[in-house]
Amino acid sequence: MSTINTGDIADGTIIDGVHYHQFDIVIVGAGGAGMRAAIEAGPHAKTAVISKLYPTRSHTGAAQGGMAAALANVEDDNWEWHTYDTVKGGDYLVDQDAAEILAKEAIDAVVDLENMGLPFNRTEDGKIDQRRFGGHTREHGKAPVRRACYAADRTGHMILQTLYQNCVRLGINFFNEFYVLDLIMTEVDGVEEPAGVVAYELSTGDLHVFQSKATIFATGGFGKIFKTTSNAHTLTGDGVGIIWRKGLPLEDMEFFQFHPTGLAGLGILLSEAARGEGAILRNAEGERFMERYTPTLKDLAPRDIVARSMATEIREGRGAGPDKDYLFLDITHLEPAVIDEKLPDITEFARTYLGVEPYTEPVPVLPTAHYAMGGIPTNVQAEVLRNNTDVVKGLYAAGECACVSVHGSNRLGTNSLLDINVFGKRAGKAAIEYVKTAEFVPLPENPAGGVKNILDMVRAGDGTERIAAIRKELQVSMDRNAQIFRTDESLEEVTNLIQSLRGRYRNIQLHDKGKRFNTDLLEAVELGFLLDLAEVLVFSARSRKESRGGHMREDYPDRDDENFLVHTMAYLTGDPESEEAGDHIRLDWKPVVITNYPPMERKY
């Protein structure tokens, strides 16, 4: 295979209209995980961060409630209890070695942020304040514990701002509004190795090739496969989709979390912090119904349990509103001063988007698609896996796009902001060690050719289908058939729809044929990723014939440890455009790492 001589590439070199850059480490994504990796890597190697958004618009900023760490600032706590809660909360699909790392390193992660300048809420004696969150307990499940470190209900926003300010201080190279659309792989001694990425510059329409010794994916989730979601419009799973199309596996894709308290009809999130401060979920009859489902933790049970309980209340006719299709989050019994101090954003959301005054009225809520537990498989050093055991040298992933797996089949609230800091840092450190001795992998002769062909084909399309219409049909069907409750019949329905939508996708037409700021073009490309990821989620869900965590099969309602205490590993083996539904996907299984906590019945 012909390659480009690495020595011919200087930063800004243009070959056949394509811009070339060379960095030791390229980080794709400027959310919490990406910028935490950059802070670790930047002082030691030439590092670039490529982001489809301006960094402080990344979705980490939407996280509200807190970041878990067993600081024991307000009551007794320790990292082993945190590990246990994480394992049990994930319905024992959590890799326990990873959970131990998460809980142990949580304390340093919080201190790191404090030293960077993050303005945490404080106790009267000046320590970082902590509050309760769902599924976090003391003494291995005896009672709720105050473990979430927080900055009002803007914790993610504060983390994002703090990380960005420190990246600026360190002089990190940012390429903002650059859409990474491909991972360049070059065959070396019979094995495909990563050589860099190809990005589309939104402001010009130009293509850029970034050659790197190490590449870190930190591209976030893909909640836009659902209609009702807390995820921003940009969370289309580009990074996960790129890895999938390269024939590398995706892990545990069937597990998607539905946050209990999205604003009814909108999906905009009301943080679990509200329940941590004493908010109560009620049905149309005013009953605190969670007492019937989880008498110990009540409203602060893990999210999968609360979401299923809410859906059950609505199914059984205890929902509110004209269509009996939502429930209430009640904070009217809390002091207005407490609400204003600790929950200012979410109460303003209720006023702005629903016209409800939370001081005096309960807020209509409904579960909303929130977080992908599955994604790009990695080991605890954030190295991407080629299969169950082998790593792809020089390729790393962290944050929601990755599956390490610390969340198993259900993530505990506040463990996501912790995950991005612990494993973002680990990704940066591992990449630094790798590039100390690694050489650049040669680029193929035309590394941007595949992306150029795709963009030209989409831009030239003269069909009759609209991108927005296809996306909407996908999202509506995913909400109806693959949300909290699933059956083989419902999953088959959405599988067949995806095949139909693929045919329509080949017949799209863009109104904007230009190059500059062509978001129409990029939404078309993103739709391709959404179709891919929805399909692998549904395929994996049909194959897991049990119920566990965020995956509830009504036709297989019990957890089945004998057959399914394993991670799903899905591989793309053919062309989805030319084969029958599912013929191009192969499933394998990976053992769950169990150390101190054998699977037990999950009672709260």
Task: Give catalytic residues, as residue numbers.
Answer: 303
Q: In 10 A of CB 569, how many CB atoms?
A: 21
Counting every residue, how long is the chain?
604
Task: Report helix, strand or coil for 163.
Answer: helix
Q: At 531, is the secondary structure helix, strand, or coil?
A: helix
Cβ-Cβ contacts under 8 Å for 75 (sequence gap 6 or more): 138, 145, 146
Dihedral pair phi/psi, residue 24, rounded to 5°: -65, -45
Which residues on adjacent β-strands are paired with residue 15?
18
Tell the burial category of 235 from Cβ atoms under 10 Å away from its Cβ (0-12, 13-18, 19+).
buried
CA atoms of 372 and 195, how far apart (whole Å): 27
- In sign, the C-alpha dihedral spanning 313, 317, 323, 329 is negative
Cα 319–chain centre separation: 29
DSSP, collapsed to helix, strand or coil, labels residue 10 as: coil
**Strand-pair partners of 280:** 330
Quick one: which of 336, 314, 231 has its CA closest to 485?
A: 314
Confirm if 346 and 153 have CB atoms less than 8 A apart.
yes
Q: Amino acid identity, residue 335?
A: E
Q: What CA–CA distance (Å, rounded) separates 309 from 291?
A: 10
* Of the candidates 232, 212, 211, the residue with the CA atom closest to the CA atom of residue 221: 232
Return d(Cα 5, Cα 14) in angstroms, integer: 14
Considering Cα of 227, then 232, then 236, then 237, what sign does the dihedral take?
negative
Amino acid at 382: A
- The answer for residues whose C-beta is within 8 angstroms of residue 209's C-beta and 6 or more apart is 18, 19, 20, 21, 184, 196, 197, 198, 443, 447, 448
Round to whole Å and give the CA distance between 254 and 152. 33
SS3 82: helix
Burial of 122 (0-12, 13-18, 19+ CB in 10 A): exposed
Coil/strand/helix, residue 125: coil
Alpha helices in 63-124 (DSSP H): 79-89, 96-116
Q: In Å, what is the CA distance from 89 to each residue of 96, 129, 257?
A: 12, 23, 12
- 515: number of Cβ within 10 Å: 16
**Nearest Cα to Cα of residue 256 among 581, 550, 599, 568:** 550
Tokens representing residue 315 in the block: 């199914």
